[in-house]
Amino acid sequence: MKLNNTFLAVRWETERFLKDFYRKEHLKNLHMSLDPAMAFATEEYKEEWRQKRMVVINEMCNSTGLKVYYLTHTAQDAASHIKYAVANMKWLRQIKDQRSIYVTGKHEFFRFTKEGNRIMVLQYAKTGEGISEYVGYEGFALNLQDEEVAMLPTQDQQIAHRFIKLLLFIELSKIETVKVAPNQKVKYGTGGDDKLFNDAGLNNVYLVNAVWNKIVIVEGDFKVRGHFRVQPCGTGRKDYKLIWINEFTKGSFVRRAGKSITDESNTTS
């Protein structure tokens, strides 16, 4: 797989039109029009609102210290097994402040900034080709102080849930990331196409894979699906980490992957 300007995330970083589109859309009262109170707001208040939005826009377009994570299908599948409570997001507070992009495919990426108890997120996705091509985005925030997802009722809530699972997987699990330098090729699987070639000229690309979470069930007759769990740990159990609860079959033999994962096969469901 070549990471180049056919990827929407690369185009965001190397071409101006996506950032200009975001600025334009964000400032043409797209969000203001969804708030009935704005219809009666003074021009002074609207201008103050625009200035505050410009601060957000400039931050979301800032690439200083940016890291680009390329998530393989295996990593995304592993993250999808994570179980968490939306109303209990305090475990996200320990994640370091950062600017990052999660590349989930050629036509989709998440770009986010974490500062203190707030995470601002953009999800970009492209549909269609040629004259039918359309690039749209969803913007939302995670308020870690009040433990809430700030989205409009008309937005797709599943996008936020998917992002949170990817964030948990990368930040709280013991994964290994491989930096892929410009013009470098890294093999990450056993298939012939399981290679990532950094053809984008970006020097901050990190490959995220998850082959370590696979297990093989040899025999048995009652299977319990494996899943991730956010586990309290550390002094006073104030920190959190992501652990893998093995899929298991009662009475079966389980061959584990090379990297150690938590075995709770005797857990009663």
Question: Contact at 8 Å (CB) between 149 and 66?
Answer: no
- Confidence band for 223, pLDDT divided at 50, 70 and 90: low
Percent of the chain with pLDDT over 90: 23
Mean pLDDT score, 97-119: 94
Q: Is the pLDDT of residue 233 over 60?
A: yes
DSSP 196-227: EEE-S--S-EEEE--GGG--EE-S-S-EE--E
Q: Where are the domains of the chain?
A: 2-210, 214-255
pLDDT in tens, 171-198: 887 777 888 888 888 887 766 678 889 9
Average pLDDT over residues 45-49: 80
DSSP 96: P
- Six-digit token pair at 20? 């200009």
CA angle (95 as vertex; 2, 15 as ends), nearest 5: 35
Q: Is 251 exposed, middle or buried (0-12, 13-18, 19+ CB in 10 A)?
A: exposed
Query: The whole model's pTM is what?
Result: 0.75
Element (H, E) at 186: strand 185-187
User: How far, in whole angstroms, is CA 110 from its chain's centroid?
Assistant: 6
Q: Is the pLDDT of residue 258 over 50?
A: no
